[in-house]
Amino acid sequence: MQVAQQKPGLKLIQTPDIAIRPMRSEEKIEVQTMMREAFSPIQQVFFTWTPDVLIAESAGNLVGAILLKLYPLPGKRQGGAVSTVFTRPDARGTGVGRSLVAAALDFFEAHHCDEITACLEGYDSNCSKLFSSQGFSILSPGDQFTRYGWGVFLIWARIFHVIDFGHFIWARPGTAQSGATLPGTTLLDRLSRPWWGTVLANTLIVLLAMWGSRDYRIFPPVSLLAMPVLVTAFLGLRWLAMSGAAEVQGLEVQFRPWESGFPLSILVALVIHDFLPVPGNLYPALQEWKYRDLLPKLNWMALAGIIPVMILTWVMWGLLQIGNLPLEVARWVIFTFYIGRRLAFFDTILIFYPFTGFNGRRVWDWDRRVWAVLAVIALIGFLI
């Protein structure tokens, strides 16, 4: 790795308690140790160094770091990306993160960057509040295509926005004012083009997975036309239940697709011929909010999304045990069970990075005993 050296025009941030400067080569091991204190073991696997690293120092001790990347944008423009930012656990809430981001913006300005991006987890309200206060806002898939055209896929690769389910690209300059309510907060608006795009993408992926699976080649191709109906039904049931839970609790939410989950889902379909759902999720319709404050409401929304899918899946399993079903009915039941068991499994059990956007993580954070019960039910349904 080529560590950051002081660049012309770079302003070093210095406050009475915190100093920000480029990392020296001999500090790499200490910064890596600090990273391990901040990230889970799974997150550590995905950690990679970038050429430019700034560190925060307080009272002679390293307390945080931010990893930066420069890359070209379409139209011969210059882009910058905040790859990773982290602090020591005991330094959180002390302004270290804000100082690091401020120094990063000065770094990108010195390198004449036209746009700056960061990939933030949708429920990490601390990071979203920090970046929102610095002029960043979420770019929807439509916003991304409008800005970058087909070059958006190359940008995803450069900033590693390819398997991080539930992470979103935030950009500066952004598209919304800090703290503003995002569009699409009515019940009808939530069922919008991004949601239908998610339905279409999942439908194509499940057809791709079944096309490559020997188990389903015994069915006539025309029977696979049931898949668009079933994918729409399952994602619609999940969306409707979660929207209803949000409405009852007085919480304004917005559907956000997980565009970065589709590359991995396509790979799973091609390689092991199975279906990894990428359902997207409903999020509070504010750019600035506190996760812990809204967790009780988010938990009930998550339960509302998980339980109906589980019930429908187990009803299909029960029908399969009856036997002697008419052939066409049996096909619909088999296909419904195929989709339901996978959606219930992934939406419940995957609670770790990079799958923290699934509903199971909200239940886990609220009550691990409830999550354990649901996880056992989902696992049994997936394995039988």
Which residue bears the tokens 């499940």? Answer: 206
Task: Mention the CATH class of domain 19-172.
Answer: alpha beta
**Where in the chain is CATH 3.40.630.30?**
19-172
Q: Could you list the beta-strand ranges (E) of the chain.
A: 19-22, 52-58, 61-73, 77-87, 115-121, 137-138, 167-172, 253-256, 281-284
Which residue from 78, 87, 67, 59 is spatially nearest to 23, judged by alpha carbons? 67
User: In a structure prediction context, what are the per-residue pLDDT tens digits for the chain, which is 384 residues long?
Assistant: 222 333 434 444 445 578 999 999 999 999 999 999 999 898 898 899 999 999 999 888 899 999 999 999 988 899 999 999 999 888 888 889 999 999 999 999 999 999 999 999 999 998 998 999 899 999 999 899 989 999 999 999 999 998 888 899 999 987 754 444 444 444 444 456 889 999 999 999 999 998 877 767 667 777 778 889 999 999 999 999 999 999 999 999 999 999 999 999 999 999 999 999 999 999 998 767 899 999 999 999 999 999 999 999 999 999 999 878 888 888 889 999 999 999 999 999 999 988 999 999 999 999 999 999 999 999 999 998
113's tokens: 């960057």
The confidence score (pLDDT) of residue 89 equals 86
The confidence score (pLDDT) of residue 191 equals 53
Strand partners, 61: 58
Helix (H, G, I), strand (E, B) or coil at 88: coil
Question: Residues 6 or more apart from 27 whose CB is under 8 A from it?
Answer: 55, 62
The confidence score (pLDDT) of residue 5 equals 34
Angle at CA of residue 292, ends 290 and 298, nearest 5°:
95
Which helix or strand (DSSP H or E) is residue 187 part of? Answer: helix 187-190
253-256/281-284 β-pairing? antiparallel
238-242, long-range: CB within 8 Å, 24+ apart, which pairs? 238/279, 238/305, 238/308, 238/309, 238/343, 238/347, 239/190, 239/191, 239/195, 239/282, 239/305, 241/304, 241/305, 241/307, 241/308, 242/281, 242/282, 242/301, 242/302, 242/304, 242/305
Q: Is the dihedral of CA 160, 51, 62, 10 positive or negative?
A: negative
Q: How far apart are the first and last CA of the chain?
A: 47
The confidence score (pLDDT) of residue 176 equals 55
Which residue from 125, 137, 216, 198 is spatially nearest to 169, judged by alpha carbons? 137
The confidence score (pLDDT) of residue 120 equals 93
* CB burial string 233-254: b at 16+ within 10 A, e below: bbbebbbbbbbebbeeeebebb
318's tokens: 């029960």
The confidence score (pLDDT) of residue 217 equals 66
Dist CA 216 CA 117 (whole Å): 42
Which residue bears the tokens 């009808």? Answer: 188
* Residue 182, phi then psi, degrees to nearest 5: -75, 155
54's tokens: 């700034």
Q: What is the DSSP string of 109-123?
A: HHTT-SEEEEEEETT
CB 71 within 8 A of CB 55: no
Dist CA 63 CA 102 (whole Å): 16
